[in-house]
Structure 1
Amino acid sequence: MSDPEPCRMKHTEDPEEQRDLMEVKEESEELSEVKEEREELSEVKEESEELREVKEEREELSEVKEESEELSEVKEEREELSEVKEESEELSEGKEEREDLSEVKEEREELSEVKEESEELSEVKKESEELSEVKEESEELSEVKKESEELSKVKEESEELSEVKKESEEEEESEELSEVVEEHHVKPGEKPLSRSKTKKTFLKKRRDKKSFTCTQCGKSFTCKQSLDVHMRIHTGEKPFPCHQCGNSFSQLANLKIHMRIHTREKPFPCDQCGKTFNGASQLKRHLTVHTKEKPHSCSVCGKSFSRLYTLHAHEKIHTGVREYMCFECEKTFTTAESLKLHQRIHTGEKPYKCSHCDKRFNHSSYLKSHEMIHTGEKPHACDQCGKSFVFISQLKRHMRIHTGEKPFSCDQCGKTFICASNLKSHLRVHTKEKPHSCSVCGKSFSQLSNLHRHEKIHTAVREYMCFECEKTFTTTNCLKQHQRIHTGEKPYKCSHCDKRFSRSTHLKAHERIHTGEKPHMCDQCGKSFSFKSHLKRHNQEITQNCQKASGRRGRRERQ
């Protein structure tokens, strides 16, 4: 009987214990869930870290791809660097040898920059060639002026024709005068007529004959056909069009003279030099080159000219008169011909077609320069190295390489350049301007040529191939430099010794051994270096030392 009571007591304690046990179980389940969540979180973290690593690996892979493309070029640079190493070993002793060798090692880093600079230079050359073409356009404008002069010559020829007509008319007048004199020959017993009376009777007859008068200006003509031709001056009518370029003319004779431009017919040769011309007036103007005759002088500055219209065009410089205005953009010009050529920009008219391809041009001079691409004609040769050029302005710019002339200087650092385009691109170093962005990755560049070269990384275009080893390159300049390995060409000679180099950058690096020049200075400690790569490495060492010092300082503070 005593047993049920403890059992009852046990039943009274079990619910609380069961609740406790349930709570413990729930807590343990929650703890297990928390552990699982923590494990899942750790896995998520690991996955996120792995994803980051994958992204970094992808970025590194893209960089590796770029580097792998550059490595082939670096191999060539290493071969050339071995030459630089040999030169540095020959010219330097002791510590200088070590410094020069370290400089040579760092040149590997610089050569990638140099390679880009060389490609930039090639593009700059292209831009300078484009600028030279712009300059040549101004020269070609002078040729256009010559064409306008030819037109004026045509006018002169028409004036000459009118003069011939006048002469023939004068001959007729003289014949008619003689007829009048014979008609009024003094007969026996008659009083002779005076000279003035005889002329009056002749003029009266002449006026009677000239019965066709212009209603606009009052000029008289002997026949209706002459009046009709004259009226075209007032009406602007030009019924004779050229089927080649669309130009129209008021007289058939003028069209025939104009057609010689297209047919290249030049029937008038110079007996002094053999040069041929398509008009007599052109030949007459050309002869003043041999005679040196300049009969027309400017009353303001005294400058002399062989042609009167050239003097008139020159005088507008002093007077500032620019009476011809474009109604599209309000730009003014000194001559009607210059305005006409300018208006083709707005109308898009391109009357001059290449005989080799379908390309058209708005200036005959542009057509002439374009056709030299097909013919391969390069009439302007350098007397120093024999290199030929299409335009004389290109030759003049090239001659600065031989003379060392650099007329364009930077007002920021004093560095000088051969042409204005090189100076313009250099100024972006100071302004940090990078206006050209890649549409694929968004990277920006200061030069358009650099952007075009960079875009080839995305497209993988390497269109320039060496026929010796079939290696491909992205630019003509890289191919040209590579080909010197096969040819052994070393066009760059040291001015201090007899050593020669295949690249101008190698010559520049070599000459610093002679001059001791160290243009790259550290802004932290003032130490100077021969190469930019040396300065970069020096700055990296400073930052690493600073980081180490700050790390040691932090450890001391924690201790």
Structure 2
Amino acid sequence: MAFGIRLQPETEVETEDSGEPETDDSDDWKETREDLSELNLKNKKLKTGKRQHSCSECGKRFNQKGHLTTHMLVHTGEKAFSCSVCSKSFTQRGNLTQHMLVHTGEKAFSCSVCSKSFTLRQSLTTHMLVHTGEKAFSCSVCSKSFTQRQHLTTHMLVHTGQKAFSCSVCSKSFTQRQHLTTHMLVHTGEKPFSCSVCSKSFTRRQHLTTHMLVHTGEKPFSCSVCSKSVTLRQSLTRHMLVHTGQKPFSCSVCSKSFTLRGNLTTHMLVHTGEKPFSCSVCSKSFTKESDPHILTRHMLVHTGQKAFSCSVCSKSFTLRQSLTQHIGNLTQHMLVHTGEKPFRLIKSAEATGHLTAAAFDPKLNDNTCRCHLAFCIYSTYC
């Protein structure tokens, strides 16, 4: 058996002359072999996975006492290693060392396929699964697979329904601590992620990333059936229901079905009669949760604000829909000045109440143009 120890010849060993007779050291060699055998036995126990050190709080077991000591910091909450740059602290020195890479910006681990770099080797290993497409962790309940075990663990909460993290302000609960942290921003009003182009801010970095597509105009997700492109994968998934005609969300009261869960939620208010969106000025309430701007539009009735102005005349409107209708009527009227007649003239415009081309034709209506435009030669009787 080889122990990796090199024994030098006696003639090459230089020792101090002790004046004592030279003795046989075979007993020492035997003792050394026994010590090494004991060390190998300990290593063998480690390799077999036997964990002798148990946590008194949660029952988790560890191979080494040092690992148990480090684990206990999870329960005590002690974080002895603090960052000298920011106020963040950690339970382990190794985690602090990794954190410092955030400040230095060092990314030593680069992907051999693309140009992306990472601060941790583990992050690079996880990233490589994007190129290989491997998803080694599968859900035992459904067919969904994941690249990381942690993602599978989080996914299992969907099936168990467990929500261990509760908000101290309201009664809302979450499956992940991160979701609770993000939710708390609703109560504090903090929006730490700001757009560098406009002044809009967001509570989550992901929302900011999605918002930036508005400025870049990028739409990376394209429909395989038609040529439509969208900015979000979720939007593409919803769009595909248009082609498949699938309506997976059905009303339990009536037979109506919907493509989106939000539409079903809004529809249920018809049966319950609930109107959760109330005006703070008057007693009017609204049910349309899927259209959060309906209450905003209603408030314009009280404020009198008319934010939508016509670029041709000085008329303003409270609703964009009203401006669109006005532009349509104006465009139709301008055909009188250009002489273009793409539509069949209808003399009964006044009876129908619609401003059609016939309503402004001077030959049919005796120059009764009411456009109030300064350059209109048919506005004699305006």
Structure 2 length normalisation: TM-score?
Answer: 0.63
2:61 alignment partner, one of 253, 270, 278: 278
The change in CA–CA distance for 1:483 and 1:256 in structure 2 (over 3 A counts) is same
The residue aligned with 1:311 is 96
Structure with higher Rg: it is 1
Bigger share in helix: 1
Give the alignment of 1:131-530 within 5 angstroms: 208-209=29-30, 222-223=35-36, 226=39, 251-256=44-49, 268-270=54-56, 274-279=57-62, 281=66, 283-288=68-73, 293-296=78-81, 305-317=90-102, 322-324=107-109, 326-329=111-114, 332-346=117-131, 350-357=135-142, 359-383=144-168, 385-401=170-186, 405=190, 414=199, 417=202, 419=204, 422=207, 438-440=223-225, 442-443=227-228, 445=230, 448-496=233-281, 500-502=285-287, 503=289, 504-530=292-318
* Residues 482 and 543 (structure 1), Cα distance of their counterparts in 2 relative to 1, 3 Å cut: same
Separation in 2, partners of 1:436, 1:339: 25
Q: What's the offset of the Cα at 1:294?
A: 4.3
| Cα displacement (A) at 1:534 | 1.4
Unaligned runs of 5+ in 2: 1-17, 340-359, 368-376, 378-382
Partner of 1:531: 319
**Separation (CA, whole Å) in 2 of partners of 1:473 and 1:372:** 26
Conservation of the 8 A alpha-carbon contact between 1:267 and 1:276: no
Asked if 2 retains the 8 angstrom alpha-carbon contact of 1:352 and 1:367, the reply is yes
After TM superposition, give the deviation of residue 459 of structure 1 in Å: 2.8
For the 8 Å contact 2:55–2:72, the answer to whether it is kept is: no
| Partner Cα distance (2:82, 2:91) in 1 | 9
Q: 1:206 to 1:532 in 2, by over 3 A?
A: farther
How much does 1:483 deviate? 0.7
What's the CA shift for 1:223?
3.6
Distance apart, 1:550 and its partner CA: 3.4
Partner of 1:215: none
Gap change, CA 1:348 and 1:254, over 3 Å in 2: farther
Please say if 1:548 is aligned against 2:341: no
CA contact under 8 A between 1:521 and 1:528: conserved in structure 2?
yes
| Shift of residue 542, structure 1, vs aligned partner | 2.0
Please report the TM-score for the alignment, with normalisation by the length of structure 1.
0.46
Distance in 2 (CA, whole Å) between partners of 1:328 and 1:336 is 15
Equivalent residue letter for 2:178: S
1:379–1:388 Cα contact (<8 Å) kept? yes
Q: Any conservation in 1 of the 2:53–2:68 contact (CA below 8 Å)?
A: no
Q: Which has the higher contact order (CA 8 A, sep 6+)?
A: 1
Distance 2:27 2:283 in 1: 89
Counterpart CA distance in 2 for 1:449 and 1:438 is 12
Q: CA RMSD in A?
A: 4.5
Instruction: State the percentage of identical aligned residues.
Output: 38
Query: Structure 1, residues 81-129: CA drift from partner, whole Å, max 9, x if none?
Result: xxxxxxxxxxxxxxxxxxxxxxxxxxxxxxxxxxxxxxxxxxxxxxxxx
Is the alpha carbon distance of 1:546 and 1:481 closer, same or farther for their aligned partners in structure 2, counting shifts above 3 Å?
Answer: same
1:291 and 1:253 mapped to 2: Cα distance? 27
Measure how far apart 1:356 and its partner are. 3.4
**How far apart are 1:305 and its partner, in Å?**
4.0
The verdict on how the C-alpha distance between 1:396 and 1:324 changes in structure 2, with shifts beyond 3 A counting, is: closer
In 2, Cα distance between equivalents of 1:520 and 1:492: 24
Question: Hey, what does 1:42 align to over in structure 2?
Answer: none
Q: Does the C-alpha gap of structure 1 residues 519 and 424 become closer, same or farther in structure 2, counting only changes over 3 Å?
A: farther
Aligned length in residues: 319
Structure 1 counterpart of 2:322, one-letter code: H
- Report the Cα offset of residue 419 of structure 1: 4.5
Post-superposition CA distance 1:402-444 (Å, at most 9, x none): 5555555566665555545555555666666666555545455
Shift of 1:482: 0.3
Structure 1 CA distance for aligned equivalents of residues 215 and 108 of structure 2: 43
CA distance 1:315–1:443, shift in 2 (3 Å): closer
- Cα distance change on mapping 1:410 and 1:550 into 2, 3 Å: farther
Report how far residue 486 of structure 1 moved: 1.6
Distance in structure 2 (CA, Å) of the matches to 1:426 and 1:296: 36
Aligned-partner Cα distance in 1 for 2:192–2:155: 29
